[in-house]
């Protein structure tokens, strides 16, 4: 599997790419091509072009959750597909994989919308929708983890804003937050969006789903921007026991948290332009 970080809050040093507060990751696993999240704007398209990555032939588009820094690139992606169609260029309409609540409206404070701006109906005109709470296999080695159980007491317990449901607005615990897991020869590679469900909950769920306790790498947002003392302590204890081979913590992971994580696991640099390769499980 080859993984390329197209959008992050930071860029790698000496790489002439652009960053924004968002996340988008391209995953290429032999004959399967997956775009995980779309960032906040059309930046993922611009950085992909600079990096020589073709997004016109994706097999899957996976949304980790509904928030603006992961889904607001959906509108420019639909425009990208439409413009290529108008020009008679080759195009492949990917299957959109996400939790069923990913298109729900979310508001917080005086912000009337921080969720996806594209409706479920409109997205369905351009892509086949595969909305699921259960794990979905994208290839023989790559799996969408579905809804993440909230098992511990130190993460995934605090709502962010209000989500609109058929019964009215309710505090949003972001049950649509999910992730991907890849079965490599050295263990699982876990690819996260923001980890609102809790990075430890996500890792434990991935281990159960994939039947592998080994963690080769975790890449993405860890939701550790300004964590409580209990969340940080619980996360550090968890990683001391889990012993991941590497961490590429980015996006919504603060500097203090990165420094703390580096004390319990090999923390690697991450930013736009990051390229990683993982050999598949035999």
pLDDT digits 0-9 by tens, 217-229: 999 999 999 999 9
Asked if residue 82 is part of any domain, the answer here is yes
pLDDT digits (tens, 9 = 90+) for 63-87: 999 999 999 999 999 999 999 999 9
CATH of the domain at 229: 3.60.15.10
Structure confidence at residue 30 as a pLDDT band (50, 70, 90):
confident
With a cut of 90, say whether residue 258 has pLDDT above it. yes
In a domain? residue 282: no
d(CA 57, CA 78): 13
Q: Residues 7, 24: contact at Cβ < 8 Å?
A: yes
Q: Considering the chain, what is the average pLDDT of its residues?
A: 97
Sequential DSSP letters for 63-120: -S-S-HHHHTTHHHHHHHHHHHHHTT-----PEEEE-GGGGS-EEBTTBS--S-SS-H
Number of structural domains, the chain? 1
Task: Answer yes or no: is 99 within a domain.
Answer: yes
Using CA atoms, how far apart are residues 232 and 148, in angstroms rounded to an integer?
19
3-state secondary structure of 239: helix
Kindly state the average pLDDT of the residues 45-52. 98
Backbone angles phi, psi at 239, to 5 degrees: -75, -25
* Token reading at 109: 């404070």
pLDDT tens track for 86-122: 999 999 999 999 999 999 999 999 999 999 999 999 9
Please determine, for residue 201, whether its predicted confidence score (pLDDT) is greater than 90.
yes
Which pLDDT belongs to residue 189? 98
Q: Note whether residue 232 is domain-resident.
A: yes
The answer to whether residue 101 sits within a structural domain is yes
Domain range for 148: 2-277
- Is residue 236 assigned to a domain? yes
- How do residues 157-199 score in pLDDT, each as one tens digit? 999 999 999 889 999 999 999 999 999 999 999 999 999 999 9
Rg of the chain over Cα atoms, rounded to whole angstroms, equals 18
Task: Give the whole-angstrom CA distance, residue 38 versus residue 22.
Answer: 8
- Joined together, the tokens standing for residue 168 give 């009215």
Residues written for the chain: 282
Q: Residue 141: what are its φ and ψ, rounded to 5°?
A: -120, -15
pTM: 0.97
Q: Band of the pLDDT at 25, cuts 50, 70, 90? A: very high
pLDDT at 194: 97
Distance, C-alpha 27 to centroid of its chain: 11
Is there a domain that residue 64 lies in? yes
């Amino acid at each position: 599997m080859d993984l390329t970080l197209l959008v992050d809050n930071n860029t790698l040093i000496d790489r002439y790419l652009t960053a924004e507060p968002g996340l988008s990751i391209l995953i290429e696993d032999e004959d399967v091509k997956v775009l995980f999240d779309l960032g906040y704007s059309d930046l993922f398209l611009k950085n992909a072009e600079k990096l020589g990555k073709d997004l016109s032939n994706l097999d899957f588009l996976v949304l980790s959750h509904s928030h603006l820094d992961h889904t607001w690139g959906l509108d420019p992606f639909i425009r990208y597909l439409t413009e290529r169609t108008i020009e008679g260029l080759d195009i492949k309409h990917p299957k959109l994989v996400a939790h069923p609540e990913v298109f729900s409206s979310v508001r917080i404070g005086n912000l009337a919308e921080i969720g996806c701006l594209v409706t479920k109906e409109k997205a369905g005109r351009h892509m086949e929708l595969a909305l699921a709470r259960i794990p979905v296999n994208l290839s023989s080695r790559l799996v969408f983890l579905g809804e993440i159980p909230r098992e511990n007491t130190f993460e995934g317990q605090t709502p962010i804003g209000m989500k609109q449901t058929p019964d009215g607005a309710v505090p949003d615990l972001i049950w649509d937050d999910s992730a991907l897991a890849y079965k490599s020869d050295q263990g699982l590679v876990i690819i996260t969006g923001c980890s609102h469900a809790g990075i430890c909950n996500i890792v434990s769920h991935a281990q159960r789903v994939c039947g592998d306790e080994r963690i080769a790498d975790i890449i993405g947002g860890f939701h550790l921007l300004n964590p409580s003392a209990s969340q940080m302590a619980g996360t550090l204890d968890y990683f001391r026991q889990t012993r991941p081979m590497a961490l590429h913590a980015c996006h919504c992971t603060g500097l203090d948290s990165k420094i703390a994580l580096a004390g319990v696991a090999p923390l690697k640099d991450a930013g736009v332009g990051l390229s990683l390769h993982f050999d598949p499980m035999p």
